[in-house]
Amino acid sequence: MRTRPMWRTLVLLLTLAMIVAACDSGESVDVEDSDTTTTAPPGSDTTSPGATETTTEQTTPEDDEMVLIAAQGAEPDRLDPHLTSAYASFQVLENVYDTLVQPGPDLQMEPALAESWEISDDNLTWTFTLRDGVTFHNGRDFTAEDVVYSYNRIMDPDVAAANAFRFASIEEVVAVDDRTVEINLSRPTPNLLVNIGAFKGMAIVPQEIVDDGSIDSAPVGTGPFRFVSQSPDQGIVLEANPDYWRADEGLPHLDGIRFVQIPDATVKLTNLQTGEVHWIDGVPPQDLESLEGDSDVVIQRVPGGDYHYFALNQAREPFDNPDVRRAIAMAIDRDVITEAAQFGAATPNQTAIPASNFWATDYAPFTPGDTEGAAALLEEAGVSDLTIEFMVSSEFPETVTQAQVIASQLAEIGVTVEISDVDFGTWLDRQGQGDFDAFMLSWVGNIDPDDFYYAQHHTDGTFNFQGYSNPEVDALLDDARVETDQDARKALYDEAARLIVDDASYTFLYNPENVQAWSPQVEGYEVRGDNAIRFVDTQLAG
């Protein structure tokens, strides 16, 4: 009797542990069967029988040879293109949905679901002719009513779509007939195509998946790949859409894509090196050099449209004085900052828009690291013993590195930088409440100059948390918004950009390169300037 407890306990503990470990299969079956699973539900009434079958199958396209496994660093939050603003979600949705127009390889807007468009003489009516024979993944035909529905949904204040602001000048969207959509504007909108097509946040969605609530868990679009399932172990599984509107060109080439989420950048890279995944959405800048010449990894770097900057709180003294802001902009050396933060995978820039963009303004008034000029300006302004608290977030580690470099550079003109590293939720909170001396971040994914300047530097701009106000800049930005002549519009933005740089509303630092890496097996994939992830032309060799 006395010996039993020991063995019983030992056996009990081990069995308990093993049961817990083995619970795995049983548990997951429950989850698959419950209505909380995010596997695509059977299609709606309008669904063709053919489309329903594929969604009820439990196999993943993994068994086929041409399934690309793509690793993303962040987890998509939700799959409703109108409600998400997470880049990780758009990496997936880019391949599922279409917009009326989309940015081409040079980021000029090109036809997608719309074949062509006409603009009325008063620039207030745009008429789009839609592509014929396009069907949604559930088998239903795509018509003008879907465009009207999708745009009205984005504009509906109750929906609170993140991109509603892009539709601010749209008064009405009308379906003239099945193939024709008319957009009526309250003011000329030269960048309308960018507003409705820059990325998949303005995607055309079928009403039925909104009505039945499945849009967040089982998106249905018109794009090259259709959604199969999402689960913690498989990630997000997509399969080729055989009825894609470019199917006659043999697209898409792949049989499917599986998006897996690997948060740690080093582990993500290791997964590529060991062949577990085919493609990764970024490479740690410090690893770029060591990977050169590695035959197992293809790395492509292209100039991107993003930019890094910092802003000083103009509601606080002495940052309300433009000379003080200018002095700080003069004292820093962007080359050193860029090298330290991005290991050279970036181009220093004193304005926001990269040189590769048509709208770039060639303007660089500050000599790098002009500490003498900066010190003189500060003295003139009567400022000494200045301390700046730089608000950064290690969720964006480069901002921390940059702040450290800037701190050492500003020390040379007697300015003390205190770095305050907070989590991004706190960062946004303090930014919104104006509780900061300086904040540092980047803007991503902009194409049109209105996106680069209006929200950030117009007095009424929604993102003008630094409190910049220059009536001259306001007038230029307002005029440029409605200027339909491209060259005249560019001239307006050039002037506004110079003023913004001179006033140091933001202090622009650099444009990072877009860096992605993939296995040599992957063919036909190109890194894009807007960082959109498009696998429509991609193939997997042997």
Partner 1 sequence: MTGFVIRRIGQMAIALFGVSIVVFALIHFVPGDPVRIALGTRFDPEIYEALRERAGLNDPILIQYGNWLLAAIQGDLGVSFRSGQPVTGIVLQRLPATMTLAGAALVIALAVSLPLGILSAIRSGSKLDYLATTASQVGVSVPDFWAGIMYILVFSLTLSWLPPSGYTQLSNDPLGWLSHLVLPAFTVGLISGSILFRFVRSAVLEALNQDYVRTARAKGLSQMRVIRDHVLPNAWIPIVTVVGLQLGFLLGGVVVVELIFAWPGLGRLALLAVEDRDFTVLQGTVLYIAFIFLLINLIVDIIYGWLDPRIRYD
Site for partner 1 in 392-431 (CB under 8 A): 395, 422-426, 428-430
Query: Is 162 an interacting residue with respect to partner 1 (CB under 8 A)?
Result: yes
The pair phi, psi for residue 135, each rounded to 5°, is -125, 150
Please name every residue paired with 25 in a beta bridge, in sequence order, or none if there are none: none
Query: Is 17 an interacting residue with respect to partner 1 (CB under 8 A)?
Result: yes
| CA nearest neighbour of 141 among 69, 81, 51 | 51
Among 53, 57, 77, 106, binds partner 1 (CB under 8 A): 77
Determine contact, residues 360/404, Cβ cutoff 8 Å. no
List the structure tokens of 247.
């199917």
Residues 29-68, interacting with partner 1 (CB under 8 A): 29-31, 34-38
Residues 359-388, interacting with partner 1 (CB under 8 A): none
Q: How far is the CB of 487 from partner 1 (least distance, A)?
A: 29
Residue closer to partner 1, measured from CB, 226 or 258: 258
Query: Is 13 an interacting residue with respect to partner 1 (CB under 8 A)?
Result: yes
Q: How far is the CB of 194 from partner 1 (least distance, A)?
A: 15
Q: How far is the CB of 480 from partner 1 (least distance, A)?
A: 20
Among 11, 27, 249, 472, binds partner 1 (CB under 8 A): 27
Query: Is 25 an interacting residue with respect to partner 1 (CB under 8 A)?
Result: yes
Q: How far is the CB of 431 from partner 1 (least distance, A)?
A: 8
Peptide bond into 303 cis (omega under 30): no
Residues 311-350, interacting with partner 1 (CB under 8 A): none
Please name every residue paired with 184 in a beta bridge, in sequence order, or none if there are none: 125, 172
Q: How far is the CB of 101 from partner 1 (least distance, A)?
A: 20
Round to whole Å and give the CA distance between 423 and 177: 50
Residues 455-484, interacting with partner 1 (CB under 8 A): 462-463
Residue closer to partner 1, measured from CB, 154 or 410: 154
Total binding residues toward partner 1, as defined by CB under 8 A: 77
Q: Which stretch binds partner 1 (CB under 8 A): 113-121, 154-162, 281-289, 473-481?
A: 154-162
Residues 153, 157, 160, 166, CA torsion sign: positive
Residue closer to partner 1, measured from CB, 47 or 84: 84
Cα dihedral value 497, 498, 500, 502, nearest 10: 160
Q: How far is CA 118 from CA 128, 130, 464, 497, in A?
A: 7, 12, 35, 31
The 3 state secondary structure assigned to 175-233 is: EEECCEEEEEECCCCCCHHHHHHCCHHHCCCCHHHHHCCCCCCCCCCCCCEEEEEEECC
Among 110, 172, 216, 478, binds partner 1 (CB under 8 A): 216
List the structure tokens of 451.
């996106």
Q: Which stretch binds partner 1 (CB under 8 A): 158-166, 218-226, 310-318, 472-480?
A: 158-166
Among 52, 54, 123, 261, binds partner 1 (CB under 8 A): 261
Q: Which residues of 62-75 are buried (b: 16+ CB within 10 A; e: fewer)?
A: eeeebbbbbbbbee
Element (H, E) at 514: strand 507-518
Q: Which stretch binds partner 1 (CB under 8 A): 71-79, 354-362, 370-378, 532-540?
A: 71-79
Q: Which residues of 469-502 are buried (b: 16+ CB within 10 A; e: fewer)?
A: bbeebbebbeebbebeeeeebbebbbbbbbebbb
Among 11, 24, 434, 486, binds partner 1 (CB under 8 A): 24
Residues 265-284, interacting with partner 1 (CB under 8 A): 266-267, 270-271, 273-274, 276
Q: Which stretch binds partner 1 (CB under 8 A): 81-89, 106-114, 247-255, 319-327?
A: 81-89
HSE-CB of 152 using CA atoms within 13 angstroms: 15
Determine contact, residues 213/235, Cβ cutoff 8 Å. no
State the amino acid at position 210 in one-letter form.
V
Query: Is 157 an interacting residue with respect to partner 1 (CB under 8 A)?
Result: yes
Rg (CA), the chain: 26
Residue 53 DSSP SS3:
helix
Query: Is 145 an interacting residue with respect to partner 1 (CB under 8 A)?
Result: no
Q: Which stretch binds partner 1 (CB under 8 A): 78-86, 373-381, 487-495, 525-533?
A: 78-86
| CA nearest neighbour of 28 among 183, 231, 191, 184 | 231
Among 163, 195, 229, 409, binds partner 1 (CB under 8 A): 163
Among 104, 105, 232, 382, binds partner 1 (CB under 8 A): 232
Query: Is 80 an interacting residue with respect to partner 1 (CB under 8 A)?
Result: yes
One symbol per residue from 84 to 123: x for binding partner 1 (CB under 8 A), - otherwise; what is it?
-xx-------------------------------------
Residue closer to partner 1, measured from CB, 38 or 539: 38
Cβ neighbours, 10 Å, residue 382: 10
Residue closer to partner 1, measured from CB, 80 or 503: 80
Q: Which stretches does DSSP call E strand in 313-437? A: 346-348, 387-392, 416-421
Query: Is 260 an interacting residue with respect to partner 1 (CB under 8 A)?
Result: yes
